[in-house]
């Protein structure tokens, strides 16, 4: 892990180390463009070919239906079933609490404005399944989609070696009432949902995290096909801000938890003394040896760094520039830092709140902006699955009250037809 001392870094250098761009980003874009174009032009045929090329599976059908889903789901071990049930309940409770009805507002006497919520009718959910299959993501996307009332929910997830999905994903589908899973992964899944193919329905908005192919494809179809996306939710990352009250073993475990997602993940340690950094890295070296995914985890750690800061406030200053997907405040003084947070996807407070709890089961959503997009995007929530439509109603009294304001502003813009739409009513 590289090391920096914050006070020695220029502003430009801080910006530079916060960039998540990797060397081959432009080649990923070219590859994704060609995949998306082929799916758009050739539909299912391209999907079958890509399954064989990237997922190493020969598929004779691009999906599994209710009966097969139920049969796969029935093989789930009892403890996993009950863990999914608990996670489902917590995620449902938290997301259901986000459904706030707004009232009507009278901005002037007789001028009433309000918003009504409507579900996005057709949504596409991407459940990652490359280096690890993530049924937890299925819950994170499926539950708010159901609460919102989305009518058509299309689900894509890469085929596993047997050309199917696993029992955990299948059980999530049963719980969510999803009757078809498309076994398609990567950029080709995103393209299929954006343009539609013979088998895959076209959707209005695509949700879900994924590797750099998936994330790049979502950004591409947003501009090329006009498909909305939740946000760029790419390779996982965490920034841990630690002081002398942190537990080094806990911090090491949190850094490794995100690093194990993939070689392009990042785990950033920001600490108030060199001694704390050394202790945490010592623990990390011990823990990593025990991990089954230690090789890929080590690559992510090599792509990560530690930053020495003078105090927690300076640590927050750095964190806000980095804008982490996950921010862990490994300090007993977390309360005083909350007001200083301006950019982060999801925040974990204190020494007993591991980020893994949010990944699976506490209730918050784990689909979050990465690569600095937390500066402008929120993570997935119930809001992501709905549109807020504005309404207004103006009475005769309201027209009299607002009329001249609109007429004068329309005249100022030289738009007489706008002005007339008021004048004609005032006269009538």
Ligand X SMILES: NC(=O)c1ccc[n+]([C@@H]2O[C@H](COP(=O)([O-])OP(=O)(O)OC[C@H]3O[C@@H](n4cnc5c(N)ncnc54)[C@H](O)[C@@H]3O)[C@@H](O)[C@H]2O)c1
Ligand Y SMILES: N[C@H](CO)Cc1c[nH]c[nH+]1
What are φ and ψ of residue 231, in 5° steps? 180, 170
Stretch of 130-138, 156-164, 245-253, 316-324 lying at the interface with ligand Y (CB under 6 A): 130-138
Considering the rule CB under 6 A, would residue 209 count as an interface residue with ligand X?
yes
Which of 1, 125, 136, 145: binder of ligand Y (CB under 6 A)?
136
50/88 with CB nearer ligand Y: 88
The binder of 185, among ligand Y, Zn ion, ligand X, none, by C-beta within 5 to 8 A per type, is ligand X
Q: Are 168 and 128 a contacting pair, CB within 8 Å?
A: no
Is 325 a residue of the active site?
Answer: yes
Q: Report 368-387 residues binding ligand Y (CB under 6 A).
A: 368
DSSP-derived 3-state class of residue 263: coil
- Among 95, 237, 326, 366, the one annotated catalytic: 326
Considering the rule CB under 6 A, would residue 134 count as an interface residue with ligand Y?
yes
Considering the rule CB under 5 A, would residue 260 count as an interface residue with Zn ion?
no
238/277 with CB nearer ligand X: 238
Q: CB 420 → ligand X: shortest distance, Å?
A: 51
Q: How far is 421 from 322, CA to CA, in rounded Å?
A: 50
Stretch of 63-71, 131-139, 164-172, 188-196 lying at the interface with ligand Y (CB under 6 A): 131-139
413 is in an annotated binding site: yes
Q: Report 351-370 residues binding Zn ion (CB under 5 A).
A: 359
Q: Report 60-79 residues binding ligand X (CB under 6 A).
A: none
Considering the rule CB under 6 A, would residue 210 count as an interface residue with ligand X?
yes
Considering the rule CB under 6 A, would residue 143 count as an interface residue with ligand Y?
no
List, in sequence order, the alpha helices (H) in 366-415: 396-412
Stretch of 23-31, 134-142, 147-155, 307-315 lying at the interface with ligand Y (CB under 6 A): 134-142
**Total residues contacting ligand X (rule CB under 6 A)?**
31
Considering the rule CB under 6 A, would residue 4 count as an interface residue with ligand X?
no
What are the residues facing 129 on neighbouring strands? Answer: 133
261 is in an annotated binding site: yes
Q: CB 360 → ligand Y: shortest distance, Å?
A: 7
Q: CB 302 → ligand X: shortest distance, Å?
A: 16
287 is in an annotated binding site: no
Is 326 a residue of the active site?
Answer: yes
242/267 with CB nearer ligand X: 267
Q: Report 180-219 residues binding ligand Y (CB under 6 A).
A: none
Which of 195, 325, 361, 373: binder of ligand Y (CB under 6 A)?
325
Considering the rule CB under 5 A, would residue 254 count as an interface residue with Zn ion?
no
56/289 with CB nearer ligand X: 56
> Three-state SS across the chain?
CEEEEHHHCCHHHHHHHHCCCCCCHHHHHHHHHHHHHHHHHHCHHHHHHHHHHHCCCCCCCCEEEHHHHHHHHCCCCHHHHHHHHHHHHHHHHHHHCCCCCCCCEEEECCEEEEEEEEECCEEEEECCECCCECHHHHHHHHHHHHHHCCCEEEEECCCCCCCCCCHHHHHHHHHHCCCEEECCCHHHHHHHHHHCCCCCCCCCEEECCCCHHHHHHHHHHHHHCCCEECCCCCCCEEEEEECCCCCHHHHHHHHHHHHCCCCCCEEEEEECCHHHHHHHHHHHHHHHHCCCCHHHHHHHHHCCEEEECCCHHHHHHHHHHHCCCEEEEECCCHHHHHHHCCCCCEEEECCCCCHHHHHHCCCCCCCCCCCCHHHCCCCCCHHHHEEEEEEEEECHHHHHHHHHHHHHHHHHCCCHHHHHHHHHHHHC
Residues at the site binding ligand X, with contacts judged by CB under 6 A: 31, 54-55, 128-132, 134, 137, 158, 185-187, 209-211, 213-214, 233-236, 261-262, 265, 325, 366-368, 370
Active site residues: 325-326
Residues at the site binding ligand Y, with contacts judged by CB under 6 A: 134, 136-137, 236, 258, 325, 359, 366, 368
């Amino acid at each position: 892990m590289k090391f920096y001392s914050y006070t020695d870094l220029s502003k430009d250098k801080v910006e530079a180390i916060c960039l998540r761009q990797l060397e081959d980003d432009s080649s990923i874009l070219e590859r994704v463009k060609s995949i998306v174009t082929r799916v758009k032009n050739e539909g299912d045929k391209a999907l079958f070919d890509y399954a064989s090329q990237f997922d190493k599976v020969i598929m004779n059908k691009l999906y599994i239906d209710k009966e097969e889903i139920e049969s796969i789901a029935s093989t789930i071990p009892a403890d996993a079933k009950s863990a999914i049930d608990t996670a489902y309940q917590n995620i449902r409770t938290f997301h259901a609490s986000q459904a706030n009805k707004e009232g009507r507002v009278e901005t002037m006497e007789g001028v009433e404005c309000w918003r009504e919520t409507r579900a996005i009718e057709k949504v596409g959910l991407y459940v990652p399944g490359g280096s690890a299959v993530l049924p937890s993501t299925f819950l994170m996307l499926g539950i708010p989609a159901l609460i919102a009332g989305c009518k058509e929910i299309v689900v894509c997830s890469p085929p596993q070696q047997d050309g199917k999905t696993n029992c955990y994903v299948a059980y999530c589908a049963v719980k969510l009432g999803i009757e078809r899973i498309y076994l398609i992964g990567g950029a080709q899944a995103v393209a299929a949902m954006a343009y539609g193919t013979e088998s895959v329905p076209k959707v209005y908005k695509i949700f879900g995290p994924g590797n750099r192919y998936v994330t790049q494809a979502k950004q591409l179809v947003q501009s090329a096909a006009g498909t909305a996306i939740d946000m760029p939710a790419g390779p996982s990352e965490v920034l841990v801000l630690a002081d002398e009250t942190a537990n080094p073993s806990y911090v090491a475990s949190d850094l490794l938890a995100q690093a194990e997602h993939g070689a392009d993940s990042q785990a950033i340690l920001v600490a108030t003394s060199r001694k704390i950094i050394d202790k945490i890295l010592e623990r990390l070296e011990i823990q990593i040896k025990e991990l089954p995914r230690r090789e890929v985890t080590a690559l992510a750690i090599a792509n990560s760094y530690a930053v020495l800061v003078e105090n927690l406030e300076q640590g927050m200053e750095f964190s806000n520039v980095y804008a982490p997907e996950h921010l862990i405040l490994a300090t007993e003084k977390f309360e005083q830092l909350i007001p200083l947070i301006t950019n982060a996807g999801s925040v974990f407070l204190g020494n007993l709140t591991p980020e893994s709890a949010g990944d699976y089961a506490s209730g918050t959503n784990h689909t979050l902006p990465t690569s600095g997009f937390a500066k402008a995007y929120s993570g997935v929530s119930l809001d992501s699955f709905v549109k807020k439509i504005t309404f207004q109603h103006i009475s005769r009294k309201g027209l009299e009250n607002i009329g001249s304001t609109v007429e004068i502003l329309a005249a100022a813009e030289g738009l007489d037809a706008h002005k007339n739409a008021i004048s004609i009513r005032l006269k009538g």
